[in-house]
Amino acid sequence: MPLIFGQNHPGDDTAATLRRLETLRRDLQALAEGKPPAPKTLRAAPLLEQFRIAGREALCLVGTGAGHPYLPAGPIATAEVWAFAADFSWARTFSGFYRLGTPHPGQPILAPGH
């Protein structure tokens, strides 16, 4: 669920999300430095049997892009959205900020439940 900044949003727990992201950052940094998880950490981790790799939906933005550093002007889809301004004037995706112009006509900005 993306965070919406500039207003109180039901169910928004920015502090908890930041803690989880910081823990992920520390774990990825350790792995990048060649430090695998400690045996104690793995013993305490849940076990997943008969697992398989699958995909999940992630909220993103689609629209007509302009001024992207790597993509030509035209239709684009962004990386996963993490945050919005309360007035939907900007969004922060996994890869960076986007200024938001006019929404697509006839479409709600956020579907119910997001």
Task: Specify if 107 maps to a domain.
Answer: no
Question: What are the residues facing 4 on neighbouring strands?
Answer: 84
Report the first-to-last Cα separation within the chain, whole angstroms: 6
Task: Specify if 104 maps to a domain.
Answer: no
Task: Specify if 112 maps to a domain.
Answer: no
Task: Specify if 37 maps to a domain.
Answer: yes
The pLDDT tens digits of the residues spanning 36-69 come to 999 999 999 888 888 887 888 888 999 999 998 8
Residue-number span of the structural domain to which 59 is assigned: 3-99
pTM of the model: 0.70
Task: Specify if 57 maps to a domain.
Answer: yes
CA dist 108 and 37 (Å) reads 43
Task: Specify if 65 maps to a domain.
Answer: yes
Residue at 85: amino acid letter: A
Task: Specify if 66 maps to a domain.
Answer: yes
The pLDDT tens digits of the residues spanning 69-108 come to 888 899 999 989 988 888 889 999 988 899 999 988 887 7
Task: Specify if 17 maps to a domain.
Answer: yes
Total residues found in the chain within this entry:
114
* Count of domains forming the chain: 1
Q: Residue 7 — pLDDT band, cuts 50, 70, 90?
A: low
Q: Which helix (H) or strand (E) holds 83?
A: strand 81-85
